[in-house]
Amino acid sequence: MKIINIVGARPQFIKVAPVTEALNEVLGRKATVKMIHTGQHYNGNMSQIFFDELKIPKPNWNLRIGSGTHGEQTGKMLIEIEKALLEEKPDGAVVYGDTNSTVAGSLAAAKLHILSFHVEAGLRSFNREMPEEINRILTDHASSVLFCPTKDAVNNLKREGITKRGKVYLTGDVMKDALVKNSKIARKKSAIIKDLNLKRKKFLLATVHRAENTDTKRNLENIFNTFMDLKEKVVVPLHPRTRKYLEQYGLLKKILESLMVEIIKPVGYLEMLELERNARLILTDSGGIQKEAYLLKTPCITLREETEWVETVKAGWNKLVGADPKKIYSAARNFKPRKEREYIFGRGSASRKIAKIIEKMVC
């Protein structure tokens, strides 16, 4: 028997690590676990560092697709993933999240009649202008089995008519598994707080990379101008895509000269966990970081009008502000969670549940 993981972007490397470990433990000698890396994220700080830190086995296939328009990138992935699947002939293919690698992997598997599993299924932001939303919907409808991280995700699938017995499972969130395992390691190994001369809960952490913010000069300018106006240290691990647009819009020089905004290179998973844990507040347009903020008990301000992680908003630990400078400023100054967190993402056993279900279906 053979299972093949299909990944390509930073958030997927975090998710595939605990699932691969669980698959190897549960399946043992009954199956071989392999991996296709599409190369969607190829920068060392966005890819290789995660394989090193999380001890993810080297991919059996690296397609080196790289960047491009959504159609170009997805099309190339579909072609090359299909070639790999035809050669490997796996009994099951596992895709993760909502990237172009996800939808290409699920479509390639479906058209070859390969049993496909979607980890992190059922999420919806209800904004179809987001490419990730299209990827989520297509992947959920193309995949054979859906692993949902939350009850809301299961309910979203029910509303779309996906209720078949044996297709939808509530497993909890594999990123919770990864965080439980690696947060203690991060505390011991990462020196980023000391290296950046930061003090615990005395700085803000910010990430910006979504197209809705980077591709519109007004949004990106509003966001970074507000960061500079906060009169509080804001640490920004800068995504290559965001740097490109800041340079293109003529905004980067002003930001680099700011005393309050500290631009740093993209960081690995362990360093990011330490930044998130020690920040007073996180400002982000990333889905995964909203979730990590909740798990690490750090209040979050989301620089979007909607989120697929609605549970964090309902729980009172996440506030949506979009790119409105007044809302960003007010939330950064005044937002505080009003209640204790609930265990909405499970208790750190999602990967093993997933591996057990896959075992029953392929072995």
Catalogue the active-site residues. Answer: 209
Cβ neighbours for 158, distance < 8 A, ≥ 6 positions apart: none
Nearest CA to 23 out of 352, 347, 346, 363 is that of: 352
Distances (CA, A) of 138 to 1, 192, 211, 285: 27, 39, 20, 22
Cβ neighbours for 277, distance < 8 A, ≥ 6 positions apart: 183, 186, 187, 296, 298
Helix, coil or strand: residue 146: strand
Q: Residues 79-100, buried b or exposed e (16+ Cβ, 10 A)? A: ebbbebbeebebbbbbbbbbbb
CB atoms within 10 A of CB 29: 6
Please spell the DSSP secondary structure of 183-231, one letter per residue: HHHHHHH--HHHHTT--TTSSEEEE---HHHHT-HHHHHHHHHHHHHT-
* Sign, Cα dihedral of 79, 80, 86, 90: negative
State how far the Cα of 361 lies from the Cα of 26, in Å rounded to an integer.
13
Structure tokens at 159: 């509303």
Contact 355, 25 (CB under 8 A): yes
Please spell the DSSP secondary structure of 78-119, one letter per residue: HHHHHHHHHHH--SEEEEETTSHHHHHHHHHHHHTT-EEEEE
Q: What is the CB-side half-sphere exposure of residue 303 using CA atoms within 13 A?
A: 30
The angle formed by the CA atoms of residues 359, 362 and 363, to the nearest 5 degrees, is: 70
Structure tokens at 65: 């697709």
Contact 283, 275 (CB under 8 A): no
Stated as kind and residue range, the H or E segment containing 175 is: helix 174-189
